[in-house]
Amino acid sequence: MSNIIQLNDFKSGEFRIPKTTWQELTLQSYLDKYERKYLIRLFGRELYDLFIANLVGGVPTSQRFIDVFNEFTDQNDCGFCDSEGMKLMIQGFIYFHYVRRTFTRNTTDGVKQTTAENSVNPDTIFAELSTRFNNAVESFACIQKFMCENSEIYPEYDGVIVEEVIPM
């Protein structure tokens, strides 16, 4: 079960996903899979376990986790680092994976792009997906940088890098 992101988080805004009952079940599996996957990579296994244990109602209670959970801007001699917050970061990753995979369907003839009789699929969808994924990666990298620079607060930190994608 997802801890931070809920199905309702995809009802409006830039991450809006129209859903039927079947799609809600599918989307829930994406929430469960990708929230966990990216948080483990963000923190490393030990710090991830401590973070999850610290959540109450999907929000951290310890100040060290609140500091990286919320939106922040960090500045040093090399410039600015902007995090949109952990919730939007995870939404960006889930949105990317879900929409990218549901925009196509597998058939006996191979992978096909979905079509509708009275509509056209937008050409910009893949550019928007890449942008949303890359924005999530930017927040991801900013959070990791903050934890690296504050190793006395995050001694358990052992995350791995997630790279941006090239627009499709």
Distance separating alpha carbons of residues 51 and 60, to the nearest angstrom: 7
Distance separating alpha carbons of residues 33 and 101, to the nearest angstrom: 14
Average pLDDT value for residue range 19-46: 87
- Strand, coil or helix: 129: helix
Q: How confident is the model at residue 100 (pLDDT cuts 50, 70, 90)?
A: confident
Per-residue pLDDT, 127: 62
Average pLDDT value for residue range 79-99: 91
Distance separating alpha carbons of residues 30 and 11, to the nearest angstrom: 15
Q: How confident is the model at residue 80 (pLDDT cuts 50, 70, 90)?
A: confident
Six-digit token string for 2: 């997802």
Backbone φ and ψ of 157, nearest 5°: -60, 130
pLDDT of residue 110 exceeding 80: no
121-161 pLDDT, tens digit each: 555 555 678 888 999 999 999 999 999 999 999 999 999 98
Q: Which residues pair with 44 in a beta bridge?
A: none
Per-residue pLDDT, 111: 47
Average pLDDT value for residue range 10-36: 83
Q: How confident is the model at residue 108 (pLDDT cuts 50, 70, 90)?
A: low
Query: Is residue 112 within a helix (H) or strand (E), and if so which, with residue range?
Result: strand 110-113
Distance separating alpha carbons of residues 34 and 40, to the nearest angstrom: 10
Distance separating alpha carbons of residues 138 and 134, to the nearest angstrom: 6
Per-residue pLDDT, 101: 79
